[in-house]
């Protein structure tokens, strides 16, 4: 939905999830405040626009830095979750608990180009887009292995029928009505880059170049990346179950043909004693059965977690402009 020019520029809330980001947070705050001030000065967003840092149960001085910044900078607010709930939940908490007409989520590591925020806001104002995706123009900053696996993963999701924006992570603009629609999804297992396209409102994409991390260590090591990747597959596609069903049918047909061949060989006296073929057959079938049981168990585990409908997060503290207090 576009902006009514008579109502003035929108209030922008920049949501920044943080987990042990004490090394990069001061620089991220400085750059974001400069960009926000420039947007206000140019009349693209109003004076109430602000940054909302979401502390996802950090164990270092991240929350102390956020608290101190909120006291000295009127455009800085902070939201502390009661415990670590993961990056995706921290982003969602900031979007749902924050105030504003438009929201932009961006990581604190300064790898995403902050200047793309201006293009996103302009796209929303001029074209009436409810969701503006930040899409990487290339992956020159990645290693060859990460580039191959990341792009292969996006293609795999598409092949499995998951609606996803290629080379988009969680750098995006969303309007208030898009946030409200997102809040209607009650999944415990969150994969936002798969959920947001399901909303269906008017969208646009903005390309940007991604840089190296400014400081500190990545909060998405290989283990967490694989976990997020698996979340995307199992939360949005049942095709792996169908693939197993098809594999079962194919293997059953091959086993039936093998049985006919064995019977024919026995009748014609062409059988040869041996165990190698039997061991191989048992090993293959046993492995496939265990894989199938494990995959079914993964889906059942997700159903188990979803039907309990436990809260996805609890807010511990909120700091910031008292005149525009966030709801608990």
Predicted confidence band of residue 238 (pLDDT cuts 50, 70, 90):
low
- Distance from C-alpha of 281 to C-alpha of 85, rounded to nearest angstrom: 44
DSSP string computed for 185-228: ---SS--HHHHGGGT-S-EEEEEE-----SSS--S--HHHHHHH
The DSSP H or E segment spanning 182 is helix 176-182
Report pLDDT for 103.
97
Strands (E), 96-246: 102-105, 131-136, 168-175, 203-208
CB neighbourhood size of 183 (10 A): 11
Q: How many structural domains are present in the chain?
A: 2
Report pLDDT for 300.
76
Instruction: Examine the domain organization and report whether 150 and 38 are in the same domain.
Output: yes
More confident residue, 228 or 308: 308
Contact yes or no for 85/312 (Cβ under 8 A)? yes
Residues 309-320 have a mean pLDDT of: 88
Instruction: Examine the domain organization and report whether 296 and 319 are in the same domain.
Output: no
Given a cut of 50, whether residue 327 has pLDDT beyond it is no
Report pLDDT for 289.
76
Instruction: Examine the domain organization and report whether 182 and 288 are in the same domain.
Output: no
To the nearest 10 degrees (0 to 180), the angle between helices 62-72 and 25-41 is 30
Instruction: Examine the domain organization and report whether 137 and 211 are in the same domain.
Output: yes
Indicate whether 88 belongs to any domain: yes
Indicate whether 59 belongs to any domain: yes
Average pLDDT, the chain: 81
To the nearest 10 degrees (0 to 180), the angle between helices 276-308 and 239-267 is 160
Q: What is the domain-level CATH number for residue 208?
A: 3.90.550.10
Predicted confidence band of residue 97 (pLDDT cuts 50, 70, 90):
very high
Report pLDDT for 16.
96
Domain containing 41: what range?
5-219+311-324
Instruction: Examine the domain organization and report whether 268 and 315 are in the same domain.
Output: no
User: What is the value of pTM for the model shown?
Assistant: 0.74
Indicate whether 281 belongs to any domain: yes
Instruction: Examine the domain organization and report whether 253 and 142 are in the same domain.
Output: no
Given a cut of 60, whether residue 274 has pLDDT beyond it is no
Token duo for residue 312? 């996805």
- Distance from C-alpha of 58 to C-alpha of 328, rounded to nearest angstrom: 20
Report pLDDT for 37.
95
Residue 79, helix vs strand vs coil: strand
Instruction: Examine the domain organization and report whether 320 and 301 are in the same domain.
Output: no
Residues 194-217 have a mean pLDDT of: 80
The residue count of the chain comes to: 328
């Amino acid at each position: 939905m576009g902006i009514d020019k008579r109502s003035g520029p929108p209030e922008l809330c920049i949501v920044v999830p943080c987990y042990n980001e004490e090394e990069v947070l001061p620089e991220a705050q400085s750059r974001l405040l400069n960009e926000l001030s420039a947007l206000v000065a140019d009349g693209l967003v109003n004076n109430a626009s602000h940054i909302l840092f979401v502390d996802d149960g950090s164990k270092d001085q991240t929350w102390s830095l956020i608290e101190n910044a909120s006291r000295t900078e009127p455009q800085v607010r902070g939201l502390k979750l009661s415990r670590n709930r993961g990056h995706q939940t921290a982003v969602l908490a900031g979007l749902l608990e924050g105030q504003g007409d438009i929201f932009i989520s961006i990581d604190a590591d300064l790898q995403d180009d902050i200047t793309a925020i201006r293009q996103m806001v302009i796209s929303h104002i001029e074209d009436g887009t409810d969701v503006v995706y930040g899409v990487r123009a290339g992956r020159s900053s990645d290693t060859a292995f990460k580039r191959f696996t990341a792009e292969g993963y996006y293609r795999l999701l598409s092949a499995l029928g998951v609606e996803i924006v290629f080379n988009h992570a969680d750098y995006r603009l969303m309007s208030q009505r898009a946030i409200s629609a997102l809040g209607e999804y009650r999944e415990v297992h969150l994969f936002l880059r798969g959920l947001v396209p399901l909303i269906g409102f008017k969208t646009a994409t903005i390309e940007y170049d991604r840089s190296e991390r400014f400081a500190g260590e990545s909060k998405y090591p290989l283990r967490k990346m694989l976990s997020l990747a698996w979340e995307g597959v199992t939360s949005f596609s049942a095709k792996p179950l169908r693939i197993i069903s098809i594999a079962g049918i194919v293997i059953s047909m091959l086993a039936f043909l093998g049985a006919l061949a064995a019977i024919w060989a026995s009748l014609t006296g062409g059988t040869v004693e041996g165990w190698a073929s039997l061991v191989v057959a048992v090993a293959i079938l046993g492995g496939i059965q265990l894989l199938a049981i494990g995959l079914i168990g993964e889906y059942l585990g997700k159903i188990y977690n979803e039907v309990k409908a436990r809260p996805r997060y609890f807010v511990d503290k909120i700091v910031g402009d008292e005149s525009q207090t966030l709801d608990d």
